[in-house]
Amino acid sequence: MKGDYYKTEASVKAYIELAKNVNGGTLIELLKDYLPLDSKVLEIGSGPGTDWRILNTYFQVIGSDNSDEFINHLKTQNVNGEFLNLDATTLTIKDRFDGIYSNKVLHHLTNDQLSQSIKRQCQILNDSGIICHSFWKGEDSEIFKGLFVNYHDKPDLVSFYKDSFNILYLEYYEEFETDDSILLIAKKK
């Protein structure tokens, strides 16, 4: 159903099955080069929780998602974890973090929403806080499975982030096909 992907029990089950063999382990290894172990980290769009579990072995991580279905799944699967319903654009939370991580989440934001999210991420990061986000590489945007998908490339991401962050790492990588993805790691100015 249009707009319901990630929000229904059936679509969440389908996504968990689809994503069961992928995880952000290599992205998190890179993040560890920039963010001290045991730092306080917010994950945006935790979804199935695969990356949350990896992050949780190195950092004090709070997971989040804007889907109640995913939040229920995350809480059931990780009874000692902390999970919040947060929207990536508004990030309505009082806590402050040393790091913010997302893996293939922020491409669901329009350009205006991404700009708003970047401002909000700055506000909830401690001084010199680190962000680590992955995106799908490409141009323009489309509706896929009823969801808005916004594609980015390196110059485009530089223009979004350069005013508020010093870019530490920005490289294409392969999720399913050569250079289909981009990883950004940056430090709050």
Rule CB under 6 A: choose which of 67, 121, 150, 181 binds ligand SAM: 67
Cβ–Cβ contacts within 10 Å for residue 153, how many? 13
- By beta-carbon proximity to ligand SAM, the closer residue of 8 and 128 is 8
Query: Residues 6 or more apart from 62 whose CB is under 8 A from it?
Result: 40, 41, 42, 43, 82, 83, 84, 95, 97
Question: Smallest distance from the beta carbon of 73 to ligand SAM, in angstroms?
Answer: 10
Of residues 114-173, which lie at the interface with ligand SAM (CB under 6 A)?
none
Beta strands at 181-188 and 165-173: parallel, antiparallel or unpaired: antiparallel
Least distance in Å: CB of 92 to ligand SAM? 11
Query: By C-beta, is 1 or 128 nearer to ligand SAM?
Result: 1
Packed helices 68-77 and 9-18: angle between N→C axes, nearest 10 degrees: 60
- Using CB under 6 A as the binding rule, whether residue 63 contacts ligand SAM is answered as no
Interface pick for ligand SAM out of 55, 74, 105, 186 (rule CB under 6 A): 105
As measured in angstroms, the least distance from the Cβ of 175 to ligand SAM is 10
Largest CA distance in the chain: 42
CA distance 101 to 52: 10
The residue from 66, 121, 150, 181 that contacts ligand SAM (CB under 6 A) is 66
Backbone angles phi, psi at 104, to 5 degrees: 55, 60
Footprint on residues 27-46 left by ligand SAM (CB under 6 A): 44-46
Q: Residues near 104 by Cβ (< 8 Å), separated by ≥ 6?
A: 45, 134, 135, 136, 175, 181
# of chain residues touching ligand SAM (CB under 6 A): 21
Q: Residue 155 or 176: which CB sits closer to ligand SAM?
A: 176
CA angle 145, 149, 10 (to 5 degrees): 30
| Residue ranges binding ligand SAM (CB under 6 A) | 6, 19, 24, 44-48, 50-51, 65-67, 70, 87-89, 103-105, 108
